[in-house]
Amino acid sequence: MLAFTIALALALLPSFARAQFSFAPGHYQLANGAQGDASLKLVLAEDDKPGALAGVRNDQERSFRPAQVTAFTVDGHAFARQDGFRLRAGFDAKFADPALLETVVTGGPVELFYYYYITQMGPLKAHIALAVLRKRGTAAFFVYSPKRTPGLDARQALSPLVAGLFPGDPVLQRQLVGNAITRAQLPDLVRAYNQGVRLKL
């Protein structure tokens, strides 16, 4: 039964994201200055446990709390520690640890990250990839979740605040306020906006 539940939970996860949560070749940078290559995976926040980094090197497995990690890459995905991240799932909000967010779009006025967690959905557990955005150089993140997201307080997903990050594109602002942009479309739209291009959907 457990194997079935795990398989079903993985099936709920978008295919582009599944590999990050199994051990795969990666590179880590720790807060103490240590760095190196190892088999790594992101351990998702769940129940009473915050997210973490797990690694296997020389046949020894270790786990690192977010505060111990600076950044890491695994299976082509880049993650970085974000201090003061407050947009947690309900169970995760009590933790003072930083969050390990996947870096999706950076280098422009608007930055996009994914915050991952596991939440209970009846008898099943669902893997959630939550899109969070911020203005570069700031610590204030905003959730964009056009549909109801399990485990997330709906009051945290305020599309008008996300739209405010894009003052140069009123059309995109209206689409965001109306929740007309899917999470899959969001990375390309953010990249285009940062390059001064307006994409037509």
Over residues 64-117, the pLDDT tens digits come to: 999 999 999 998 899 999 988 877 665 566 667 788 999 999 999 999 999 888
Cβ 29 vs Cβ 70: under 8 Å: yes
User: Does a structural domain hold residue 142?
Assistant: yes
List Cβ neighbours of 114 (8 Å cut-off, separation of 6 or more).
Answer: 17, 101, 102, 104, 129, 130, 131, 132
Q: What is the pLDDT of residues 18-47, one digit of tens each?
A: 446 789 999 999 999 999 999 999 998 777
| Cα–Cα–Cα angle for 24, 149, 81, rounded to 5 degrees | 45
Residue 29 lies in a domain: yes
- Identify whether 100 is part of a domain: yes
* Domain region containing 143: 2-194
Q: What is the pTM of this model?
A: 0.84
User: Does some domain include residue 146?
Assistant: yes
Q: How far, in whole angstroms, is CA 62 from its chain's centroid?
A: 22
Give domain status of residue 200, yes or no.
Answer: no
Q: Residue 89 has what pLDDT?
A: 62
Provide the number of structural domains found in the chain.
1
The sign of the dihedral angle between the CA atoms of 53, 56, 61, 62 is: negative
User: Residue 201: inside a domain, yes or no?
Assistant: no
Q: Is residue 48 part of a domain?
A: yes
